[in-house]
């Protein structure tokens, strides 16, 4: 076997190995609510499959996203960077799909009634936090208008 055919043989094995590694990665369904957790899982699969090439990671991410998510990165798809495509794609998805702390708080409070909020807090706390302390926290988290209304009431237990 001459050097030229050895080189081609080595390239074929390397390409096959890369393709096998790529096939070993099975991205979980994209979690729009927690894209950072999705990337964490995916990057663990990259490590296990020994995938380090930027283009391969970029291709795997794109193949895992549905059209609703692709809409958020259409500008990157139409004009991808020449280097660090995967990093650019990941950064764009995280920044565009991750809520700010204020938005998360608003989502938590949402349009729920004060009684629903208290019920959720009790459920999350379990028996580890006293009910009185929980009600104090709950009361302080309510909008001022609601606090004013409740301060007139002698018993806030009617909301629990």
* Mean pLDDT score of the chain: 79
Inform me whether the pLDDT recorded for 54 exceeds 80.
Answer: yes
Q: Does the pLDDT value for residue 14 go beyond 80? A: no
Q: What is the pLDDT of residue 16?
A: 46
Mean per-residue pLDDT, 50-65: 94
d(CA 31, CA 98): 11
Tell me the pLDDT band of 63, cut-offs 50, 70 and 90. Answer: very high
CA distance 46 to 128: 39
- Spatial separation of the C-alpha atoms in residues 65 and 159, rounded to whole Å: 43
> What crossing angle do the helices spanning 3-24 and 54-64 adopt, rounded to 10°?
40
pLDDT tens for residues 72-123? 999 999 999 999 999 999 999 998 988 766 666 566 666 667 777 778 778 8
């Amino acid at each position: 076997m001459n050097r030229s055919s050895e080189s081609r043989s080595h390239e074929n094995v390397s390409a096959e190995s890369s393709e096998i590694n790529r096939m070993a990665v099975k991205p979980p369904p994209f979690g729009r609510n927690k894209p950072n957790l999705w990337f964490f899982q995916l990057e663990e699969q990259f490590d296990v499959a020994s995938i380090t090439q930027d283009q391969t990671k970029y291709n795997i991410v794109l193949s895992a996203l549905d059209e609703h998510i692709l809409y958020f990165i259409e500008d990157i798809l139409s004009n991808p960077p020449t280097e660090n495509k995967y990093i650019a794609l990941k950064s764009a998805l995280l920044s565009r799909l991750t809520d700010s702390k204020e938005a998360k708080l608003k989502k938590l409070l949402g349009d729920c009634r004060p009684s629903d909020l208290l019920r959720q807090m009790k459920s999350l706390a379990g028996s580890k936090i006293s009910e009185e302390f929980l009600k104090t926290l709950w009361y302080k988290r309510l909008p001022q208008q609601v606090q004013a209304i409740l301060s007139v009431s002698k018993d806030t237990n009617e909301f629990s």
